[in-house]
Structure 1
């Protein structure tokens, strides 16, 4: 890519950099509390492991490394996520510039990612491992397209890094390089790039990156896959035909949910041009069509032979993130005029870039008017501050990982254990006192120590259930005197 080409699209990256900086600021201003995936990262950053459970460890490793330099903080969480997203958009834009000649279409393809709800909203709201999949897919896709168009050791190396990272991000990522390989093999013009000896470099790099986790996976396959398989195959007592029908319909709905808004925006922006361009073809549109087809067939095989009954839209990120680029390639293949469409598209981008951060903030801050509280409204830090005035805990036992992660970010150096995750077992035998904390969803519910926490105490410390207490703490952005109730207890082990 020439320096002139880079100057042509530099403004896109400046705009996106500003947008993701805004997202960091909004997240820090919204709430100090953590959502599910954020709390998981903080909780599991207490130790380094080759595997942690149902999700591969790429994001955990990355966040662990950052925390070693910065300390545990919400700022470090938010910066890591938004930096990964910015790099992903950057690579996507560079990929678009490789195969699109029209500068307006390069901009529309890149910023078109903002029209995918699962990526522009859900990834900001809480997701982490899916962000890692998008990041890895962007690396691989850039290396793959560059290997086809401008083959070099560097391009194959980039593809290999993307595959390695992707397999460490989510297991379903494997379908993307498989689909790309099959799609390229089907084209006689591209086939030599697949049989290039430099492909071995990509394979070796991917293997080296994933090797530590593969050794762990060999001995922990059931632990790593059971939860995901349970989600996918949850069809109740449905018959085989009903399970297949449920799986196929969930796939169709997931595709519509993922790509529907993007197609609708392009239809409004391009009007009749989009409809006419759907019949146009180029070698790149044909390649992406084959990739998407192979990906869909892979999911269908999982439904028919693997018992999958529920496909979630975010699972389609490794493939359908190419939809904006695919639509732009179709439009360019039709030779359509794009300047007017570009002028119509940019106001849509502006609305999204303002509306998404405003919605994320407003969904939490509006609780002071509506009384509807999100997880980010829960006052974990305020609760911990009050309890630490009673005694300084040497360790904390939390009722779940969400609570454990939220407590850990405000009490550095103190081990926080969660009863729902047995993989972290620090030595607590000589530590006293131990603080036990659990959530009480609604006032009036059973406020006694949960049975699973009592069992944990007996099994791990040989201690009977202590006397339970409750504490009510005002919500963040509370309406009136609304408060959230926590249960807690202190365990003082004998000397």
Structure 2
């Protein structure tokens, strides 16, 4: 890509860099507490493994590496996520510049990603592995399109890196390169780009990247896939026709949820021109249509033959992230004028760029007025500070990974174990006591030591259940005397 072409779209990347820097600042200002995926990253960064469970390890490996350099912190979590998102948008913009001549449409397609709720809001709120899928898909898509338009060793290498990262991000990523391959093979003009020696580089690079995890997956396939299959096939013992109907309807709702706002924004910006543009065709629109058709057909086959009954909208990220670019290709193919549309589009993007960070902060900070508390309102740090005044623990056993990750953030020098991940078994012997902590989210709940923890103590330490205590700590942004309660117990070493 020439310097002049890069200069054409440089302002988009400057705007996006400022936006994602703002998101980092907002996350740090919102709460010191961690949400589910953030806590999982902190908890699992205590060890490096070829696999961790139902999600492939790409994000875990990346976050582990960063923590080794910077130490465990919320800042490191937020910077990693937003840097991945920025690079993804950058690659998406470069891909758009390869296939679109109109600079306004390049900007609209790239910033159009901000109109997809699962990507602009949910990825900031608490997703990590889905962020990794988007990042990998953006790498692959750029390499794929570049290999079709400007083939080189570098383009095939980039595509291989994207596939390798993607398969390490989420297993459902595999459908994207499969759809791309089938879509390209269906076009006689593009077919030579597939049947060429440089494709071997793509396959080799992808295999090398995924090889460590593939060896792990071979021996842990049930462990890696059982939870996802359970979620996907949960149909409350419905009959086969009902299961298929549930799957198809959930897919339709997922597509609407994923792309509905984007369609509405493009319809608002382009008006009747969008409707007429949808009939226009080009080499690139036909390619993307075939890719989306293969993708959706694959999901339908999974519903009909695999028993899938519940399709989540975020599972569509590996393919439907191309929707803004697809619309812009349609509009260019129709030869529509774009200057007025661009002027209507930018105020909408501005509202999104201001509104999303404000909503993320407000959903937590307004609890002091509404009394409605999110996970980020829970006072993990305040609780740990109080308990550490009683004694310094040799290790902590937490009730789940959410609690374990939050505790480790503030005491990273000791091991934190979790009841929902029994595979982590560090040496916790020492002269200091073991601290047990669990959540008591609702008043009136049983405050006794959870039976599973008592069983763990007997099995691993050979000790009986200690005295269970309860501590109430004021919420972050709490209203009045509202407090969140934690159960805890100390297990002292034998004298």
TM over 0.5: yes
Report if aligned partners of 1:278, 1:330 keep a CA contact under 8 Å in 2.
yes
Question: Match of 1:60?
Answer: 60
Q: Using the TM superposition, name which of 437-446 and 384-393 deviates more.
A: 437-446
Deviation for aligned residue 1:276: 0.5
Q: Which stretch of the first structure deviates more once superposed, 26-35 or 298-307?
A: 298-307
In the alignment, which residue of structure 2 is the partner of 1:5?
5
Q: Which residue of 2 aligns with 1:365?
A: 365
Match of residue 212 from structure 1? 212
Greater shift after overlay, 335-344 or 1-10? 1-10
Instruction: Tell me, in whole angstroms, the C-alpha distance in 1 between the residues paired with 2:167 and 2:388.
Output: 42
Match in the other structure for 2:160? 160
Report the secondary structure of 1:485's partner residue.
strand
Q: Hey, what does 2:425 align to over in structure 1?
A: 425
Map 1:168-247 onto structure 2 (within 5 A). 168-247=168-247
Aligned to 2:90: 90
How far apart are 1:456 and its partner, in Å? 1.0
Deviation larger for 423-432 or 175-184: 423-432
The match for 2:337 is: 337
RMSD: 0.6
Match of 1:294 in 2: 294
Instruction: Classify 1:33/1:334 alpha carbon distance in 2 versus 1 (closer, same or farther; 3 Å).
Output: same
Alpha-carbon distance in structure 1 between the residues aligned to 2:48 and 2:297: 37
Say whether 1:468 aligns with 2:468: yes
TM-score by length of 2: 1.00
Where 2:479 maps in the other structure, the secondary structure is: coil
What SS does the corresponding residue of 1:124 show, helix, strand or coil?
helix
SS at match of 1:409: helix
Q: Structure 1 residues 432-441 or 280-289, which shifts more?
A: 432-441
2:486 alignment partner in structure 1? 486
**SS of the residue 1:389 aligns to:** helix
Deviations 1:388-433, CA, capped at 9 Å, x for gaps: 0000001000000000000000002100000111121101234530
Structure 2 residue matching 1:156: 3-state secondary structure: helix
Instruction: Return the alpha-carbon distance in structure 1 between the equivalents of residues 176 and 289 of structure 2.
Output: 13
SS of residue in 1 equivalent to 2:187: coil
Counterparts of 2:149 and 2:117 in 1: how far apart (Å)? 31
Q: Which runs of 5+ in 2 are unaligned?
A: none
Alignment partner of 1:439 is 2:426 = no
Residues 8-40 of structure 1: per-residue CA shift (max 9 Å, x gap): 000000000000000000000000000000000
1:134 paired to 2:134:
yes
Q: Distance in 2 between matches of 1:480 and 1:128?
A: 34
Uncovered stretches (5+) of structure 1, i.e. residues with no partner: none
Give the whole-Å Cα distance in 1 for the aligned partners of 2:72 and 2:230: 32
- Structure-1 residue corresponding to 2:45: 45
Correspondence list, 1:312-391, <5 A: 312-391=312-391
Q: Secondary structure at the match of 2:396?
A: strand
1:157-180 CA-to-partner distances (Å, cap 9, x unmatched) read: 000000000000000000000000
Deviation string for 1:252-280 (max 9, x for gaps)? 10000000000000000000110000000
What is the SS of the residue equivalent to 1:471? Answer: strand
8 Å contact kept, 2:255–2:316: yes
Q: Shift of the alpha carbon at 1:321?
A: 0.1
- Given that residues 132 and 166 in structure 1 are in contact (C-alpha distance below 8 angstroms), is that contact kept between their aligned partners in structure 2? yes
Query: Which stretch of structure 1 is more off in the superposition, 143-152 or 437-446?
Result: 437-446
* Cα deviation, residue 460, structure 1: 1.2
CA–CA separation in structure 2 for the residues paired with 1:481 and 1:354: 32
Instruction: Check conservation: 1:52, 1:423, Cα contact below 8 A.
Output: no
Is the contact made by 2:394 and 2:429 (CA closer than 8 Å) also made in structure 1?
Answer: no
Is contact 1:137–1:162 with CA below 8 Å preserved after alignment? yes
Q: Using the alignment, how far apart are the partners of 1:270 and 1:454 within structure 2?
A: 63
Q: Contact (CA 8 Å) 1:395, 1:431: kept in 2 or not?
A: no
1:400 maps to 400
Please give the per-residue CA displacement for 1:361-391, whole angstroms capped at 9, x wherever unaligned: 0000000000000000000000000000000
Instruction: Tell me how far apart the structure 2 counterparts of residues 368 and 12 of structure 1 sit (CA, whole Å).
Output: 37
**1:29-72: per-residue Cα shift (whole Å, max 9, x none)?**
00000000000000000000000000000000000000000000
Question: d(CA) in 2 for partners of 1:412 and 1:336?
Answer: 57
1:15 corresponding residue in structure 2: 15
Q: Is the 8 A contact 2:394 2:434 kept in 1?
A: yes
Deviation of 1:462 (Å): 1.1
* 1:99 and 2:103 are equivalent in the alignment: no
Give the Cα separation in 1 of the matches to 2:152 and 2:445: 64
CA deviation after TM superposition for structure 1 residue 296, in Å:
0.3
- How far apart in 2 are the matches of 1:236 and 1:16? 44
What is the match of residue 258 of structure 1? 258
Does the Cα contact within 8 Å between 2:397 and 2:418 map onto a contact in 1?
A: yes
Shift of 1:444: 2.2
CA–CA separation in structure 2 for the residues paired with 1:227 and 1:448: 29
Counterparts of 2:311 and 2:423 in 1: how far apart (Å)?
Answer: 28
Contact 1:429 1:461 in 2 (8 A): no
Hey, what's the Cα distance between the residues in 1 that align with 2:210 and 2:286?
31
Matched-pair contact (CA < 8 Å) for 1:432–1:491? no
Is residue 382–residue 473 contact of structure 1 (8 Å, CA) maintained in 2? Answer: yes
Deviations 1:271-310 (A, max 9, x none): 0110000000000000000000000000011111111000
